[in-house]
Amino acid sequence: MVNHIVNLLTNVRPQDIVDIALLTAVIYWLLNLIKGTRTIPILVGLTVLLGVYAMASFLQLDAIGWLMENLFSSAVVILVVLFQADIRNALARVGMTTMFREMSATAQRNLIDEVVQTAYALAKRRIGGTIVLENETGLRNYIERGKQIRAEPTMELMQSIFHTSSPLHDGAVIIDRKGELAAARCILPLSSSLVGSFSLGTRHRSALGLSEETDAAVVVISEERGQVSLAHVGHLKRDLDENELRAEITTILQGNEPTDALPEAHPKAQPARG
């Protein structure tokens, strides 16, 4: 056994070391990509099915074995259907760097301050709103379907847009990666993971929906509770204070992993319209 191991080590080529290093990096990247997403429970379910198939083969359960064989013969199609959103996000992120890094540190800080101040000014007045910060994944499709504005995202402008008497208050405003308020009255996709849930209203579901399809940071202001939440990569962190929101947005736009210390969405008994 020892001799066999020694022979293997002495026959290792430089190409083998590079190959193993690249494979390790790819696996590590994939694990980071799916960490904290809905992919993990699905993979657990697939692992259980593989266990059932192995047990059926061992116990010679022909009917179960036949069913599992037919199921796994379409495994590629099943995986594409189950993980289509995650695959799309992964492909969009390959080879990309956070575009907000092109902004100066001062410009980015000023932008975040305007967004945070707007969010809590609206929350104090119980006015709902959704502010989207474009990140690596482009939001051109959503911008073009909204009302084009192309202006500096000041607190005064955003408050006037979300005022209930404004014709633009429905939908979301999108701030592009250049730091420009690109459009208002943008319609976002609803999250499919919250079907049948009464704890979150349309505004929060649409924020989650966009965060499931892109890497945008989506700030949501609830008109009913006067709370501010943040949606990112399929997670909704609710009832944040100003410092928490500012830290979360800064972390996201700088291309780092957001903290897991803040509360995420959990079903509650009472419905929320905002």
Domains of the chain and any CATH numbers: 2-93 (no CATH), 99-253 (3.40.1700.10)
Predicted model pTM: 0.61
Tokens of 95: 């080879």
For residue 175, report the phi and psi dihedrals to the nearest 5 degrees: -105, 120
- Quick one: what percent of the chain has pLDDT higher than 90? 34
Q: How does residue 55 score in pLDDT terms, banded at 50, 70 and 90?
A: confident
pLDDT in tens, 89-129: 666 555 544 445 556 778 888 999 999 999 999 999 999 99
| Residue 235: its H or E element | strand 235-237
Tokens of 44: 């657990």
Q: Which residue has the tokens 């410009």?
A: 107
Which burial class, exposed, middle or buried, applies to 129 when counting CB atoms under 10 A from its CB (0-12, 13-18, 19+)? buried
Sheet holding 129-133: strands in order across? Answer: 147-151, 181-186, 172-175, 129-133, 217-221, 228-232, 235-237
The mean of the pLDDT values for the chain is 79
Check residues 160 and 272 and name the one with the higher pLDDT. Answer: 160
pLDDT in tens, 197-223: 556 788 899 999 999 888 899 999 998
- Residue 234 scores a pLDDT above 70: yes
Q: How does residue 262 score in pLDDT terms, banded at 50, 70 and 90?
A: very low
pLDDT in tens, 142-188: 998 899 999 999 999 999 999 989 999 989 999 998 889 999 999 99
| 3-state secondary structure (DSSP) of residue 218 | strand
